[in-house]
Amino acid sequence: MGARKVAVVTGSNKGVGFGIVRGLCQKFHGDVYLTSRDERRGRDAVRELEKEGLSPKFHQLDVTDKRSIYTIKNFLEKTYGGLDILVNNAGIMKSFHTKEEGNKVIETNYVSVVNISEALFPLLRPNARVVNVSSRMGNITAFNMKEDTKMKFASPNLTVKELTNLVWEYYNLFDCPNFNPKLYIGQFAYGVSKLGLNRLTSILQRNVSADQRHILVNSCCPGYVDTDMSDHKGLPDGRSRS
């Protein structure tokens, strides 16, 4: 008898991630881990789903902390011997006004996925699925780029390290006097982080395709939904604006 299947959803104590955990608990034949940086909030979220007759499990995970990432990696390896579903949902978007605050957006939305992929991809079993929760802001950011910058991001042989350098390089243009994206720095950082995430997704898929494990890596845009990130101005029940 094979090892029990397991799914992990990052940043899932509320919002879209919470909805993803609910859906997986209803349909996935295996253990589903709701994760959050704050243990109390995470366990409260698990109890909310238990009231619905669902049975999620909890593991603390701060996606911006490499030690936390490797703690859950070691737990999954020891307990399950692998990983079947990974949903990189954790993210932030604020109307930040300082460069330091904008850095947090890049680090949470993009760099964390690079670090999680480095740690957890070796655990992915054959036919595993990875979903990176992205945003239309990534496409809008790409549309507004100069053509030569677009070509750098679109290079077919781009590596993860090269992409990370490009993400920081383009984000740092915000400081240039001739570059005015007409956005708060946090919003600009959000767009750059999601552009990087979309491109990272394609690079990761290219890399896993080479080892014949039939793993699929995708990104998706949930749309404008009712969450803290949208100040609850989005559509309810996980529906997106068409």
Q: Which two tokens stand for residue 190?
A: 């959000």
In Å, how far from its chain's centre is CA 164? 15
Residues designated as active site: 190
Given a contact cutoff of 8 angstroms between Cβ atoms, the answer to whether 196 and 163 are in contact is: yes
What is the rounded distance in angstroms from the CA atom of residue 240 to the CA atom of residue 168? 30
What is the rounded distance in angstroms from the CA atom of residue 17 to the CA atom of residue 68? 19
Buried b (16+ CB within 10 A) or exposed e, 56-77: bebbebbbeeeebbebbbeebe
What is the rounded distance in angstroms from the CA atom of residue 210 to the CA atom of residue 43? 39
SS3 content of the chain, % helix, strand, coil (to 5): 50, 15, 35
Q: Which two tokens stand for residue 24?
A: 């997986």
For residue 16, CA distances in Å to 90, 94, 134 come to: 9, 17, 11
In Å, how far from its chain's centre is CA 64? 12
